[in-house]
A and B are shown apart, each in its own frame.
Chain A
Amino acid sequence: MLQLKSVTKVYPGNTKAVNDITVSIPNGEFCVLLGPSGAGKSTLMGLINGLVLPTSGSVVLNDEQVDARNQKKIQQRISMIHQQLHLIPRLSMLHNVLSGKLYALPLWRVLAKHFPENDQRRACRLLAEVDLTESQLHRRVSALSGGQQQRVAIARAFMARPEIVLADEPVASLDPTVSRSVLASLRHTSKQNNTTVVCSLHQVDYALEFADRIIAMREGKIVFDGPPQRVSESELTNIYGSSDDHKPAAIKAVPQIEREVALA
């Protein structure tokens, strides 16, 4: 269980990036963060994994409060998936996945790249879960496509058996077809490992399709929190503002029929 209790983060210059947010996310939930740029999504993620410390309020991960002292330890229990992936291009797919668990291994094993067999097996299982094949196992990730690289990043994030996986716009640079299958892989893997996922997205239609729960933010506050079925046209206006210009193209692009299906 991840709990945020009246969390506020004020940046220098008196910008309230996150304003008095209280929310709790049960283990294993696939939770999507929506909201326009600057709504405070990235700050909220930073607060969860201890990269950003709250000005007031507290973040509690399975009964342990996140603060300056246990920052490092908390970070080992939380994995990040970045938009820019940050994979190591010249290492193989297998080694990139294994690199998600370096902290738990003795130094000599890391220096010699000599990984225990059960770790390697787990990496293979995760890669299979995100639909990658053995033929690519020892290939450099720089030789893979964008979608495949994002899958490797997902597998790496789950390698250390984290309690939470934070994904910051994981499909921002992928085309729609690939985006869908990558998100499906992320969801599948999270369900397989019973891991909580907090994933920020710009595309409302993907959120409707994959989320167990949608949390929408605007100007540092939560403006919507509920299952995708409850997201309506008026809620979207509430999140992104009335002007169409502020909405991502995806909202306008979602055909009415498809949305009705999703809402049904």
Chain B
Amino acid sequence: MSNPSSISSSKSPNEARHHSQWALHRAITPKLVGILLLVFIALAWSAKNTELDRAAIETGQAIVALTGATDSKVLDSAGRFLDDAFPFTFESSIEVSRIDNFDRDSLPLFSRIESRETREYDAFTETYLTETKEYLVNPIGYLLKVLAKMWESIEMGFWGTVLSVAISIPLGVLGAKNYTPNKLVYTGARTILGFHRAMPELIIALFFVLMYGFGPIAGIFALAMHTSGVLGKFFSDEIENAPEGPQAALKASGAGSLKVLRFAVFPQVFPAYVAYVQYIFERNIRTATILGMVGAGGIGMELKGRWDLFDYSHVSTILLVIFITVMTLEVVSQRIRGRSL
């Protein structure tokens, strides 16, 4: 029997060592420990920067406060919102005296007249003045208004998607290596798409509000611009990756590029593109709900207004409508996606 170590030492280092001497895998190495340490330091520094330490402390306090033992700033603030948020405000009311040509005999649908007492402090006489005013109350007036605003957001999402498709198809073709007329056009198309993609909607919306004023136009353009960058890149990549056999077959029969594109590429790329457009549409509706915060139309404008006025019961109505809409959207699009294209 030979000693393995003597075998390996008797040979030159280039020659194969006995398997008992092969270098084994080591899970923990000094290099790994060093890297982990550096990562830990970087994370700790970043967490301090972003106040995650305070978040941890206050969240801990809030959890303890849930048991009633202590007070928590976080819970107090949440409580202030929740106290006012419910019940939801569905009704709208307007002072009768402010309505021109008010006709008491033919009220709008569902509406009623209500008398309300208001007490106002008069600083001159240092007394409370009690006054009874008549209000025209519509029990679902506010809900209807919110729904109308929500519908506006949905429409913004729709038109944003339509414009986005219209922009992304030509740019997508020009940005596909195999169908672009030349390198310059390719670079140009890809650059435009990249720029569109890189600009966040809220920032684009700010500029369009500046240009077109408050309202849905700014929101639609912002959505179209950002998502055309996303859709266009996707379309370009899909065209580049389309199966080459059918294209080669049509080219060999003498068909020009556009014809090949129409016949051998579009039909193949279509299902993936439609699925993507559907996703973008869904996403655009969600985004359209917040674009109003910068004045770009839709339900976000109403939300921002009510939030700034601390009208939390109105805010909760808006949130309820948004929540129901988004859930419905999710269910509907799941159904559609389930069908094979």
Contact = CB atoms under 8 A, between A and B. Distances in A.
Interface of A: 49, 51, 72-73, 75-76, 79-80, 82, 84-91, 95, 99-103, 105, 107, 110-111, 113, 160
Given A107-B256, A111-B258, 16 more contacts: A49-B252, A75-B252, A80-B253, A86-B246, A88-B263, A88-B268, A89-B268, A90-B270, A90-B271, A91-B267, A95-B263, A100-B253, A102-B250, A103-B255, A110-B255, A110-B262
8 contacts: A75-B253, A79-B253, A82-B245, A87-B249, A90-B271, A99-B263, A100-B253, A113-B262
Contact of A107 (B258, B270, B271): B258
A100 B268 CA distance: 17
Contacts of A80: 249, 252-253
Contacts of B252: 49, 51, 75, 80
A95 B262 CA distance: 12
Contact of B254 (A72, A82, A86): A72
A118 B260 CA distance: 22
- Cβ-closest 4 pairs across A and B: A103-B254, A86-B249, A76-B254, A102-B255
A90 B273 CA distance: 14
Contacts, number: 70
B264 interface: yes
- Name the residue in B248, B254, B264 with the highest tally of chain A Cβ atoms < 10 Å from its Cβ: B254
B259 interface: yes
A110 B263 contact: yes
- Name the residue in A49, A87, A88, A110 with the highest tally of chain B Cβ atoms < 10 Å from its Cβ: A88
B268 A99 contact: no
Contacts of A75: 252-254
Chain B interface category by residue count: 20 to 34
A160 B252 CA distance: 12
Contact of A99 (B250, B256, B258, B271): B250
Contact of A102 (B245, B263, B267, B270): B263
Contact of A110 (B246, B254, B259, B270): B259
Contacts of B267: 88, 90-91
Nearest to A76: B254
